Amino acid sequence: MEYLQKEPRGQLTLYTTCLNDMVGYDNTVRAIDRFVDSLEMEKLGFAPLPAQGRPPYNPADLLKLYIYGYMNRMRSSRRLELECARNIELIWLLGNLRPDHNTIARFRKDNPKAIKRVFRASVEIARNHDLIGAVLIAGDSTKLRAQNSKKKNYNHKKVARHLEYIDKKIEEHRQALALADGDNEREQEAERQIDKHRARREEYREIQQRLDRDTTTDNPQLSTSDPDSRHQITRGTITEVCYTAQTTVDAQHKLLVDYKVTNENDKKAMGGMLRRAKSILRTNSFTALYDKGYHTGSEFKTAHDLGINTLTAIPAIGRKSHTRHRTPPTMPRISTTTT
């Protein structure tokens, strides 16, 4: 059977096209290129790169690479470095520049606030093109699991349990040492175990002192490998050491208008979300929707003070309360804050 023949790899070829012709005019990379070129990088707060040695990369080019990676689910700096050498869209977007993964990682690390301002700029453009209605918005959150394990997350109760267990084990080994009765091998093993548990007790004492110094919350936590993460309930009785990403979406075209990553649950988040939404949309004439996790009296007061209509689901009532105060099935269980 005859097959299509491949072109010999050693054959010289004269290309009659340029790099610009290799990317379609409706390709999204052209929108990325136009969008970044319209930004004032210094005004947004991008840190200037050092001028020592070879010339640095333009922050605008690195931002284009970052946005492309975000849109195509490429978060790894090494993956982006690899794509710069083989992806025709990135070759066009960066003009054949090939930054290494360290440069890409440093750019993201050094410019978190500036990158967030870029997101705000994209929301402003969508607003100017009437893509955001600012009539109805909805807020919700998602939990992002941290690198910190549950074993490496501590609070006062957990540390107290560990110290109690260690004291108990030390006492057991002391009794074993007293009963060794001249057996050198048993005495050495008991002393070794006592020294080991004493060292662990000192570690937990230090953790306890660090928790005592934290006066920002009533129930302080300490995550040793991911300090900003917190132990939270993710669903029902399931818990994880994680972060909470709070997001606000406009109803007209389902566009994201605001986000914030925190280490707290939804209980005290609604007020801040409404403040940011009012600042971004430059109006308070919209209605905001939230689920039962945001049902908090102080947050309703914030919504009232901001003059924003808010609809929030009411948390489920316990069985005893439900039997005493039965709600008719035709009544919607929604809390409202109106002005």
CA neighbor of 118 nearest in space, from 30, 35, 190: 35
Q: How far apart are the first and last CA of the chain?
A: 79
DSSP 121-153: HHHHHHHHTT----SEEEEEEEEEE-SS-GGGE
Question: Please, which residues have CB within 8 angstroms of residue 13's CB and are 6 or more apart in sequence?
Answer: 7
239 phi-psi bin (left φ>0, alpha ψ -120 to 50, beta other): beta
Give the number of other CB atoms < 10 A from CB of residue 269.
21
**Architecture of domain 136-145+246-337 in this structure:** 2-Layer Sandwich (3.30)
pLDDT at 277: 95
* Among 214, 197, 194, 195, CA closest to 154: 214
State the DSSP string of 20-76: GGGS-TT-HHHHHHHHHHTS-HHHHTPPPPP-SSSPPPPHHHHHHHHHHHHHTT---
- Is this prediction's pTM over 0.85? no
* pLDDT tens per residue, range 292-321: 999 999 999 999 999 999 999 988 765 554
- What's the CA gap between 300 and 313, in Å, rounded? 12
Pairing of strands 287-290, 136-145: parallel
CA 143, 145, 149, 155: dihedral to nearest 10 degrees?
A: -30
Q: How far is CA 31 from the centre of its chain?
A: 26
Query: SS3 of 14, please?
Result: coil
Question: Residue ranges of the domains in the chain?
Answer: 19-128, 136-145+246-337, 156-220
Would you state the pLDDT for residue 52?
66
Instruction: Please report, in tens digits, the pLDDT of each residue of the chain (339 residues total).
Output: 788 888 788 888 776 678 888 888 999 999 999 999 999 998 999 976 666 667 889 999 999 999 999 999 998 999 999 999 999 999 999 999 999 999 999 999 999 999 999 999 999 999 999 999 999 999 999 999 999 999 999 999 999 999 999 999 999 989 888 887 777 888 889 899 999 999 999 999 999 999 999 888 878 999 999 999 999 988 888 899 999 999 999 999 999 999 999 999 999 999 999 999 999 999 999 999 999 999 999 999 999 999 999 999 988 765 554 444 444 444 445 566 665
Quick one: pLDDT at residue 85? 93
Q: Alpha helices of the chain — where are they, by DSSP H?
A: 28-37, 41-44, 59-71, 77-86, 88-94, 101-110, 112-128, 156-178, 184-213, 270-281, 297-306, 319-324
Reading phi first (left if > 0) and then psi (alpha if -120 to 50, else beta), residue 96 is in: left
Contact 196, 172 (CB under 8 A): no
Instruction: Give the C-alpha separation, 36 to 290, whole Å.
Output: 33
User: In angstroms, what is the C-alpha Rg of the chain?
Assistant: 29
Phi-psi sector, 31: left (phi>0), alpha (psi -120 to 50), beta: alpha
Q: How far apart are CA 186 and CA 318, in angstroms?
A: 57
- DSSP 3-state of 154: strand
The per-residue pLDDT for 37 is: 94
